[in-house]
Amino acid sequence: MTDAAWSSQVKWSADGLVVAVAQDFQTRKVLMLAWMSPESLRLSIEEGRAVYWSRSRQRLWRKGEESGHVQRLHEVRLDCDGDSVLLLVEQLGGIACHTGRETCFYSRLIDDRFVAVDPVLKSAQDIYGKDGEKPDLGVK
């Protein structure tokens, strides 16, 4: 697949990345935010699954490579400014967050603080193993 046409339409940041928002393709619930490089976006399109760029590890990160919670790609959209992409995905297993919740946006501002309002569907220990610590995949 040649990426010259679509890649030139994206306003990549100074470090060669673009913000990517993952949204459930059916419910339209926002699942998570991550970063993509030209290569990760190209691979996402080619493989039909979300592939992100890990800023801390400086490497590609296929969503679900540790947890099994793969995001099957249905559609890619570019925002009006060209500086962010929207991935419409099917979240396999129903868990997008490393905390075991459906979405990474599980905290709601109530009065003067953020409070976790969505339930944990599966413990981090059950997802990631013995110590329950999520591997550092660089999603910030």
Report the CATH number at residue 27.
3.10.20.810
pLDDT of residue 129: 85
Q: Is the pLDDT of residue 133 over 70?
A: no
Residue 62 in any domain: the answer is: yes
- Quick one: tokens of 11? 């306003």
Q: Is the pLDDT of residue 103 over 90?
A: yes
Residue 104 in any domain: the answer is: no
C-alpha Rg value of the chain to the nearest Å: 15
Q: Is the pLDDT of residue 60 over 70?
A: yes
pLDDT of residue 4: 62
pLDDT category at 38 given cuts 50, 70, 90 is: very high
Residue 41 in any domain: the answer is: yes
* Largest Cα–Cα separation, the chain: 50
Range of the domain at 53: 4-93
Q: Is the pLDDT of residue 3 over 60?
A: no
Q: Is the pLDDT of residue 137 over 50?
A: no
**pTM of the entire structure?**
0.87
Long-range (24+ apart) CB contacts under 8 A made by 133-138 are 134/66, 134/98, 135/66, 136/56, 136/57, 137/54, 137/56, 137/57, 137/61, 137/66, 137/98, 138/35, 138/53, 138/54, 138/55, 138/56, 138/57, 138/58, 138/61
> What whole-number distance in Å separates Cα of residue 99 and Cα of residue 95?
9
> What whole-number distance in Å separates Cα of residue 13 and Cα of residue 15?
5
